[in-house]
Chain A
């Protein structure tokens, strides 16, 4: 019974997000809107964490499964991949380094600044 209600809440929020995203004056992915809505519902305790326990545990455990068909679609783009695979790996590698560096240094800098402020 509980799991049924959980799924109902989750699907209802997801469905509502599609309608709200369509009504927004700017483009925004419905999925992320749905996440915000659920986070809001949890924060104001309209939905309690226990209400989503089973569903979130199941989806967290097997999340990757749900992306398989979206990934298998690559079979329709094998020609494109043949010409671009090297660029994709190159971009993945370089952006990994720059992103890691920027994120790490920004945190360290912020921590240092906050520390200095506290010391004063």
Chain B
């Protein structure tokens, strides 16, 4: 019975959809970044596989099907960038300056700390793109030979930390400009941070959204130039 169920690719797909649905529901109720739907879904699936002794390969029959959408999902980001073109045109130079400085700093900090802590290459490569939006980060990590699931985990941790700490960091570093606040949130903590930026103000949220696409692209280019 169990064999019949788990050998079907629909098993992985169904489990993913329901776990994510539960994640969204819990997130809606709790309204806290720690209850990230993706994080909840992942934990639910991992728990299910471990408890019922289902091998990952069985889950991944369906998982691989979902993975196939990673490229189109990234490509579709182009539509949101295109939609913001008027704002981008108006504030192009400050946004570019902020996202370039932030992205380079992120890469340099991660590389330096990884070396200091003696982490191996595959771990370092998995962490390198962790400040940028998931589709781009996964693409960069895979290209470098990193472990993409580790990238997703590190990126979720960063996003949740950024979401919680954004208002505090703005105060700590005495950031007065609203554009600077938005750009910094989007560059440092991608879409999970951006949801906090939205709460802080629509203009900050929009900037954060633009900055996360910019920093994703800049990080991809910087990494392909350096490595």
Contacts and interface: CB of A to CB of B under 8 A. Distances in A.
B38 A29 contact: no
Interface string A95-112: 111111111111111110
B157 A92 contact: yes
Contact of A74 (B41, B79, B102, B152): B152
Counting chain B residues whose Cβ lies within 8 A of the other chain, the interface size class is: 35 or more
A94 interface: yes
A107 B75 contact: no
B106 A65 contact: no
A76 B56 contact: yes
B60 interface: yes
Interface in A83-101: 84, 87-101
Contacts of B95: 107
Contacts of A32: 74, 136, 139-140, 216-217, 220
Contacts of B17: 65
B105 A93 contact: no
Interface string A6-29: 000011011001100000001111
A28 B143 contact: yes
Q: DSSP class of A's interface residues: helix, strand, loop or mixed?
A: helix
A88 B156 CA distance: 11
**Most chain B beta carbons < 10 A, residue from A65, A75, A111:** A65
Counting chain A residues whose Cβ lies within 8 A of the other chain, the interface size class is: 35 or more
Q: DSSP class of B's interface residues: helix, strand, loop or mixed?
A: helix
Given A77-B150, A99-B188, A104-B180, A109 B97 contact: yes
Contact of B102 (A59, A84, A99, A108): A99
B211 A103 contact: yes
Contacts, number: 300
A8 to B, nearest CB: 11
Contact of A100 (B75, B110, B184): B184
B180 A108 contact: yes
A104 B98 contact: yes
A73 interface: yes
A80 interface: yes
A80 to B, nearest CB: 7
Given A69-B12, A95-B110, A104 B220 contact: no
Interface string B156-171: 1110011001100110
Contacts of A4: none
Contacts of A111: 94, 177, 179-180
Given A39-B81, A96-B188, 9 more contacts: A31-B71, A31-B74, A34-B72, A66-B70, A72-B46, A103-B188, A103-B215, A107-B98, A107-B184
Interface of A: 10-11, 13-14, 17-18, 26-32, 34-39, 42-43, 49, 52, 55-56, 59-60, 62-77, 80-81, 84, 87-111, 114
- Please provide the 3 A-B residue pairs with the shortest distance between their CB atoms, ordered closest to farther: A103-B102, A69-B63, A29-B139
